[in-house]
Amino acid sequence: DAQVGSVTPLDPSTVASEVHYGRRSGKYTHVKRGTSTVYSQQYPFKGLLNYTSGIIHHVKLEGKLCEDIPLFLLNRKEPCR
């Protein structure tokens, strides 16, 4: 086994999984919360490096959010499509 550098496993509970959104840019009137996870792939073959993902966020926005009226997401300057 070998490790390069000081690698600390990610803890998905340390960050929020939420999307702030609204119908006007800069005016985010809604918040939807979700979950986050980290996954690891362990390879059983000598010479292959194991993999651990970054934090993956899952937030489901329901309804007809982007169909008729532009929807703006936080940190995004254009309407979603």
What is the Cβ-side half-sphere exposure of residue 33, based on CA atoms within 13 angstroms? 3
What pLDDT band is residue 4 in, cutting at 50, 70 and 90? low
Q: What is the pLDDT of residue 65?
A: 62
Amino acid identity for residue 14 in this structure: T
Domain coordinates of the chain in residue numbers? 12-73
pLDDT one-digit tens code per residue, 23-38: 777 888 888 888 888 8
List Cα–Cα distances, 2 to 49, 50, 54, 70, in angstroms.
Answer: 10, 11, 20, 50
Q: Is the pTM of this model over 0.75?
A: no
Amino acid in the structure at residue 31: V
Does residue 3 contact residue 18 with C-beta atoms inside 8 Å? no
Mode of pairing for the β-strands spanning 72-73 and 51-52: unpaired
pLDDT digits (tens, 9 = 90+) for 64-75: 665 656 666 655
